[in-house]
Amino acid sequence: MASNGDSGDRKTVCFVARIDFLSKPGGDTIQWQMYDRAAREAGLNVTTWFDDAPMPEADVVHAFNVDRPLELYPKLAEATRRGFRSS
């Protein structure tokens, strides 16, 4: 599995979502806000991947709104190439 070498002992979670995730908020945006808050409160580092930028370094990847696979597939394929597994 991929690892974020500069996070020290704290793990990093990368939240992945559709490109218009913030400009057109919906239920998935609210879910992300709750997960983001809970992850930070648990002491995790948090990063996001809502655009077409390269994938950020992370220890865990969590995707939202996977019922829109055409938008998320390239990102999830990149995560798979980096050694992340779905569950």
- Tell me: the pLDDT tens digits for 19-42? 888 899 989 999 999 999 999 999
The C-alpha atoms of residue 7 and residue 65 are separated, in whole angstroms, by 27
**Does the model's pTM come out above 0.85?**
no
The C-alpha atoms of residue 42 and residue 20 are separated, in whole angstroms, by 27
- 64 occurs within a structural domain: yes
> How many domains does the chain contain in total?
1
Mean pLDDT to the nearest integer, 56-71: 89
- 4 occurs within a structural domain: no
- 87 occurs within a structural domain: no
- 6 occurs within a structural domain: no
What is the span of the domain harbouring residue 76? 12-81
**Structure-token match 């655009």, residue found:** 51
Mean pLDDT to the nearest integer, 1-14: 68
- 73 occurs within a structural domain: yes
The model's confidence at residue 7, banded by pLDDT at 50, 70 and 90, is low
DSSP-assigned beta bridge partners for residue 14:
47, 61
The C-alpha atoms of residue 38 and residue 55 are separated, in whole angstroms, by 22
For the chain, helix (H) and strand (E) counts, in that order, are: 2, 3
Half-sphere exposure of 64 (CA within 13 A, CB side): 25
- 75 occurs within a structural domain: yes
The model's confidence at residue 3, banded by pLDDT at 50, 70 and 90, is very low
- 61 occurs within a structural domain: yes
- 5 occurs within a structural domain: no
